[in-house]
Structures are given as structure tokens and as C-alpha cells.
Amino acid sequence: MEERFSNQPEFVVKALKYDGSEHRNWRARLAAQEGELIVLDAAFAAEVQHDLLGQIAAGTISTEYYWLNRWYNIFRFSEPNGGLLNYYCNVSLPPRLTDQTLSYVDLDIDILVQPNFSYQVLDTADFEANIERYGYTREVQSGVERATNELVELIEAQSFPFNV
């Protein structure tokens, strides 16, 4: 974690699978909380090789937007100097906030957004496979469709947080 985040409360963020198993976790600092919106800041301490994003350099900043009443979250990845790298959107169940932990259930569908606002919807095959594997309910399937459509609308309109 970079020094600039040191005075903010720290959270552990947990991305979970539908069965409750932990997929990954990391530490982040509270940047802002306004109504249903929670904004966290994190920085990559070490280089990471990501399947879709490629090499994420140490020092890359992740500004993470979570709404307690929305079925997605949005990550803004930027260089240490603040230059935008891309946005990464996760369709998920609304997050749960307990003590200093923010957890969410990842529902497979992701959207990668480039700085020019071109975007790519990812992992639809994983979602289809996991309908069977995890037994996603009709409510979950409908929620994923609504969340994906809402994200696309936000991206195309370059609405918050895509205008930050």
C-alpha cells in the first residue's frame, strides 16, 4: 500500500464465488463513502500477471467503486502518476460490509473498458457454465442481465465513474 493511503481506514476486500468460497482478497483504504457508494483505494505492491489485463505493474493504483444496492462494482486502474490505464467492471451481488471487510459474490461477467471508452463484455461462457455449476436462480440471472445492461449504458454515456 502506498504512503498516500496510510491515514485512511483499511479494509480487506474479498471476492467470493457463488458457493461462498473465496476467489481472491486484497487490502484497500477507504477514500470516500457517500450514501450507498463506497470508494476504496488500493495499490499493487508487486507486479501481477492477469489473464486479460496482461502485466499489471507494481505501483498501479486501483480506485474501486462499490454500491451497496447495485449488482456490480467498477475498478479504475491508473498509473502511479494518475494516468488512466483502463476500467474493469465486475457483475456481482451487492457487496456486504462487515467491520473492516467488504465482500462481494462475483457473478462471472466482466467488462473491460479502454481509455477511449471502447469496451468488451467478457466471460459470458463462464456465466453460462456456472448457471448449472452453482445453480444460479432466475433472480440472479435476471440481475446479471440488468447489471450488464446498466454498465453498458454508463460506459456509453461516460457517466460516473467513467468520467473521473
- Over residues 143-153, mean pLDDT: 98
Give the other-Cβ count within 10 Å of 125's Cβ: 9
Residue 116 and residue 55: Cα distance in Å, rounded? 20
pLDDT at 99: 86
Pairing of strands 84-92, 96-98: unpaired
The CA–CA distances, whole Å, from 37 to 6, 46, 155, 160 equal 21, 28, 18, 12
Position 30, amino acid: L
Query: How high is the mean pLDDT of the chain?
Result: 92
Q: Where are the domains of the chain?
A: 3-157
All three cell numbers of 1: 500500500
pLDDT tens-digit readout, 38-75:
999 999 888 888 777 778 888 899 999 999 999 999 99
Q: Are 108 and 127 in contact (CB under 8 A)?
A: yes
Position 163, amino acid: N
**Secondary structure E strands in 114-146:** 119-122
pLDDT tens-digit readout, 79-138:
988 899 999 999 999 999 988 999 999 999 999 999 999 999 999 999 999 999 999 999
pLDDT at 94: 98
H/E element holding 22? strand 22-34
Residue 8 and residue 133: Cα distance in Å, rounded? 39
Q: Is the pLDDT of residue 7 over 70?
A: no
Fold of 3-157: FomD barrel-like fold (2.40.380)
